[in-house]
Amino acid sequence: MSRADTPAADAADAADNAAAGAPPARRPHPLWTLGLLRSELLTTLRRWRTLALLGVLAAVPVLVGIAVRIETGDGASAGGGPGGGGPAFIAQITNNGLFLVFTALAATLPFFLPMAVGVIAGDAVAGEASAGTLRYLLVAPAGRTRLLLTKYATTMAFCVLATLVVALSALIVGAILFPLGDLTTISGTRITFGEGLLRALLIALVVAASLIGVAALGLFVSTLTHSGIAAMATTVGLLITVQILDQIPQLHAIQPYFFSHYWLSFADLMREPVYWDDLLRNLGVQALYAAVFGTAAWARFTTKDIST
């Protein structure tokens, strides 16, 4: 489906009707909102940039799995106790391919996943403005608030999709290169492979939820400019800056408020019993960023002068 088949085209027709003196459009029907969301999802997922980002994310587990396989094939030791490789679980991959899922998520979360989300969020509004389609979307009976919520929902859907792509790629590569079976948690207890799969899915969802703050920040930046490239670059730059600041010991007092501080807390889901403290702190910080920057994005977007 092309952009001409989307609500943006309907909006352009509405603009022409308005110019011709036709009656104003009626309030949007809920099904129209679902159509707008569907259009945004399809438009985002069909872009070459989005497909390239997903391809890079899917390639990371492949590279990690091959590297570990070559290392063990050369006789290097990849052993160690449970959790011996830290949050990346890399010491356990040769014993159970399911650990490649946890390792891949730990490897992509600090940069690759948030960078991809930052690109999508940064382009959400600014990209429409630079392409000249934003004003047509606003003429349609969506309203600025509804359109902004649709953009954010699309970005969050990409968060879930990108995380699942990493997890699924890692699971397939792990099953091909390494044995699967019951696994040992960080606490040293044994769980079945089925329970391990459920925990892997829960970890993937927690990782996706960890990107809520980045998505809200990127969407806010996207409302500040008419250049999609500038919005994407600014969002990625802020991401890198926050991660650097999170590593400076002198800033320990404010580091718990950085959106990236508790990202690797998902490893606590592989403990028995599960440690919930940092997991809940992470979700709380993400909710705070979503509320603050989501409100800022709404305030900016609903008062923004859209002339192009």
Of the candidates 152, 156, 253, the residue with the CA atom closest to the CA atom of residue 205: 156
Higher pLDDT, 54 or 134: 54
Give 59's pLDDT tier (boundaries 50, 70, 90): very high
What is the model's pLDDT at position 286? 96
| pTM of the model as a whole | 0.81
What is the model's pLDDT at position 34? 77
What is the model's pLDDT at position 137? 66
Gyration radius from the chain CA atoms: 22
Would you kindly state where each structural domain of the chain is located, as residue ranges? 41-302
28 DSSP assignment = P
Omega before 273 cis (within 30°)? yes
Kindly tell me if the per-residue pLDDT of 92 is higher than 90.
no
Residue 183 has phi, psi (to 5 degrees) of: -130, 160
Average pLDDT over residues 165-188: 92
pLDDT tens digits for range 233-288:
999 899 999 999 999 999 999 999 999 999 999 999 988 888 899 999 999 999 99
What is the model's pLDDT at position 228? 81
Residue 249, burial from CB neighbour count under 10 angstroms (0-12, 13-18, 19+): exposed
Give 19's pLDDT tier (boundaries 50, 70, 90): very low
Kindly tell me if the per-residue pLDDT of 127 is higher than 90.
no
Kindly tell me if the per-residue pLDDT of 9 is higher than 70.
no
